[in-house]
Structure 1
Amino acid sequence: MSPAVLHPTPENPLPPGAECLELVTRDRRRLRVMKAVPENPRGTFVILGGRGDFIERYFETARDLMARGYAVVALDMRGQGGSQRPRRQPYRDRTRNFASFDRDVRTLMQKLVIPSCPAPYFALGHSTGGHVLLRLLRRQTWFDRAVLVSPLVEILYGPWPRPVVWLLLNTMWFTGLANFFLPGVRRAPMGRADFPGNPLTSDRRRWERDSSTLEAAPQLGLGGPTFGWLGAARKSISRVRRMRTTTAPVLIVAAGADSVVGNEGILRLARRVPGVALTFIPDAKHEILGEQDIIRRQFFAALDSFLAS
């Protein structure tokens, strides 16, 4: 492990005692990690963010978990945040297979969490991070419990008919154009000016906070999805849909006003897999942990109840 850098701002201070580390995977990808341990910890939460996220967006959530007595470890998966990404066109997502994210989490657990963090271990995953946890919970037994926030288990295509999406996706993959952005998505991260009508949060203060981080450290941002990412996501989702069991109890907290991932898919998963509990926060947009205080309080009430049960 070697040192790495976090980017606090006046609006978004570091969690107490936070340190930033760099891990290297077996396929030589460098991963940025944050570790923060309170006095007398009662266990450790591992945080996996969504596509395009960066650790700094979870400083507030880390402080909330530490106030409950938990150590926190947060990971930037490969290709985003402060982890390794291509130097050329760094805002372009080059994901081809979600198995690489499994490798990142395995590196995190084997090199940092299990050797140096207090057990028991809990997981908190948002969107794509929640999806990666579902992949791992088919076999891995690291976690005592897992909390998934707006997990990616169904893709919403908007006005595009599914057959058209399938045809276009296959064409781009087989013609070597999978690195192209999907039609209509942004090629750079969203910022302050993009708050009106955004699909992620109704909380302007937290939106401004995250925008200030990207203004101070623009290298942390990521553009919209590519055809490569979409193809990898579709393949991985088809595997998660075949899940029939998990290695640990799971709580899914879904956003009632989500327009990014499909709640019908989340509902079907919860009905199909024993040990998966589901609750909806009706007025929440996709990023529940970046939402208004009243919505975040509902989330943490659900988390506290789940951990105490």
Structure 2
Amino acid sequence: MDQVLISTPDNPAPENRTEGYFETFDGQQLRYAVFRSSASVAKGTVVLLQGRNEYIEKYFETIRDLTAKGLWVATFDLRGQGGSPRLVKKRQHGHVRRFSDYERDLDIFLEKIVLPDTRLPFYILAHSTGALIALSAAPYLSTRIERMVLSAPFIGLIGQAASASTIRRLASAACSVGLGTMALSAKLREPEFRDNPLTSDEVRFERNAAMMRNHPELTLGPPTARWLVESFKTIDKVMTPNHLFSITIPTVVIAPTRDGVVPYIAQERLSRYFRAGQLVPVNGARHEIFQERDVYRAAALAAFHAFIPGSDAEAIQEVEAIGT
């Protein structure tokens, strides 16, 4: 199979992997990869769900952290971004027809790739938009997913030129007159480290900026009106007490207190009615905590590993060996 991931000297792809494409319910070919641990007995598989305008390569460092602990990682580029097909003619516009399409893609990924090709038990690690997908899909994932860790779930919006309520009204108006594929803002400029809302780590920031600069085919500009409308509708749904009560998968929400994209107060509000959820604030961290400085990444990874213990496969194997 031809190599489908991009490996660079400052961001090499982890070894021991399978990469390719899987077909969705509507014929899209989404790019995916499975990374195997070198441990003799796997402790389970982490299904990694990215945020908006992210891609597999951005998580190579985190994938190494997870596989070093004996976990496998299975991940894919969301429809309309990364190495997956774009959904509108203006390929820089981030678009989705219905938010439920993301959930159906996750369901097929679990069925076609994760279940037959990886190791039990299954966990979810999801960031931002990926965490919103996980929250929305969680009520019917309880028979397959053991635990979830959600990083800065996209359940609110700050740091924009207009308020979230204004953006919501404008997006709804555009969709109502058939302009759902239109973006509400201009093309995004190349990001600058100073005053960025994502990370305080300049090295990781520049690594990601270089990937965007050298491989623009992986990146997106602003979201479309339809993407915004569908996302806001899903936020409204997952924040209702009835929906949160229906989630039975034990969950940790890692909440950066200096998040410049999703308001921290919204993540606190989420935890009030989320019976299966536990809020873990990371003081001082910005939105992309797995792209943050070591002190913040270490705190997030420690919370993850404390909550995702993996299996007791190694101990069981030792007991069985003694008994033979």
| Interval of TM-score (by shorter of Structure 1 and Structure 2) | over 0.9
| Contact preservation (8 Å) 1:9, 1:212 | no
Percent identical: 33
Q: Cα distance, 1:162 vs. partner?
A: 5.6
- Counterpart of 1:25 in structure 2: which amino acid? T
| Contact preservation (8 Å) 2:175, 2:226 | yes
TM-score (ref. length: structure 1): 0.93
Q: Cα distance, 1:100 vs. partner?
A: 0.5
Residue of structure 2 in register with 1:24 after alignment: 23
CA distance in 2, matches of 1:80, 1:263: 26
More displaced 10-residue stretch of structure 1: 167-176 or 271-280: 167-176
| Contact preservation (8 Å) 2:171, 2:184 | no
Assess, with a 3 A threshold, how the Cα gap between structure 1 residues 4 and 99 changes in structure 2: closer, same or farther: farther
Cα root mean square deviation, aligned: 1.9
Residue of structure 2 in register with 1:209 after alignment: 207
1:81-230 aligned within 5 A: 81-86=82-87, 88-141=89-142, 142-156=144-158, 158=160, 160-161=162-163, 164-183=166-185, 187-188=187-188, 190-191=190-191, 194-230=192-228
Residue of structure 2 in register with 1:279 after alignment: 280
CA distance in 1, matches of 2:166, 2:87: 30
CA distance in 2, matches of 1:212, 1:248: 37
- Counterpart of 2:217 in structure 1: which amino acid? Q
Residue of structure 1 in register with 2:14 after alignment: 15
Find the residue that maps to 1:231 and give its secondary structure.
helix
TM-score (ref. length: structure 2): 0.88
Q: Cα distance, 1:28 vs. partner?
A: 0.3
Assess, with a 3 A threshold, how the Cα gap between structure 1 residues 43 and 189 changes in structure 2: closer, same or farther: farther
| Contact preservation (8 Å) 2:95, 2:226 | yes
- Counterpart of 1:172 in structure 2: which amino acid? A
- Counterpart of 1:35 in structure 2: which amino acid? V
Choose 1 or 2 for highest CA Rg.
2
Q: Cα distance, 1:4 vs. partner?
A: 5.7
Q: Cα distance, 1:87 vs. partner?
A: 7.0
- Counterpart of 1:155 in structure 2: which amino acid? L
Residue of structure 2 in register with 1:296 after alignment: 297
Residue of structure 2 in register with 1:62 after alignment: 63
Q: Cα distance, 1:277 vs. partner?
A: 0.6
| Contact preservation (8 Å) 1:150, 1:286 | yes
